[in-house]
Amino acid sequence: MNLKPSAMKWVAIDLAVVLLIIGAVLWINPWSSDEPAGGGGGGVAVEFDKAQAEKGKALAGSNTCTSCHSTTGGAGAGPTWKGLYGATGKRGGKVDEAYIKETLTTPPAVMAQYKGKFKDADIEQITEYIKSLAQ
Ligand code: HEC
């Protein structure tokens, strides 16, 4: 090539623009989805009943559960409910319906006030709410 220095400069600028575009496309990355098959942050999508979850949310509020358990991943006296469902619980084993039921019927010392307090229907609603926070 026999380009003048000024022409070389434009070639360099063109190249830079092309690289910028490639970089931007890779950065936005339209080919990759944040949701893997099954949805959720690496976990499996958890199905829940929306109406039940709403009732569970109200129960969790009126029973002050959420004063110890954050629903956003934040710290608290108890483990956050964000992503709790399906994860490994404090007592070991996977947090599922049975695990939550056991927590409420045979509560840990800090939750002793809830012993015998909830009907199965209440526990199911709270469980649906915790499920809704799985992702
Ligand atoms: C005074 C604070 C406090 C309140 C109020 C409270 N919890 Fe807890 N909760 C805890 C602590 C601390 C743990 C962890 C206990 C342990 O180490 O096993 C826990 C554990 C749990 C677990 C099991 C988590 C795991 O990983 O093992 C569930 C589910 C749960 N609580 C639900 C509830 C519900 C539902 C309510 C309201 C009805 C409630 N909590 C109210 C402090 C609280």
The H or E element containing residue 52 is helix 50-62
Q: Is 75 in the pocket of ligand 1 (CB under 6 A)?
A: no
Q: Model's pTM, two decimal places?
A: 0.76
Cα–Cα distance for residue pair 132/135, rounded to 1 Å: 7
Cα–Cα distance for residue pair 29/45, rounded to 1 Å: 23
Residue 105: helix, strand or coil by DSSP?
helix
Spacing, Cα 6 to ligand 1 middle (Å): 70
Give per-residue pLDDT as tens, 52-75.
999 999 999 999 999 999 999 999
Q: Is 49 in the pocket of ligand 1 (CB under 6 A)?
A: no
Give per-residue pLDDT as tens, 43-56.
568 999 999 999 99
Spacing, Cα 124 to ligand 1 middle (Å): 16
Give per-residue pLDDT as tens, 111-135.
999 999 999 999 999 999 999 999 8
The pair of structure tokens assigned to 82 is 């964000």
Q: Does residue 36 register a pLDDT over 50?
A: no
Q: What is the pLDDT of residue 35?
A: 43
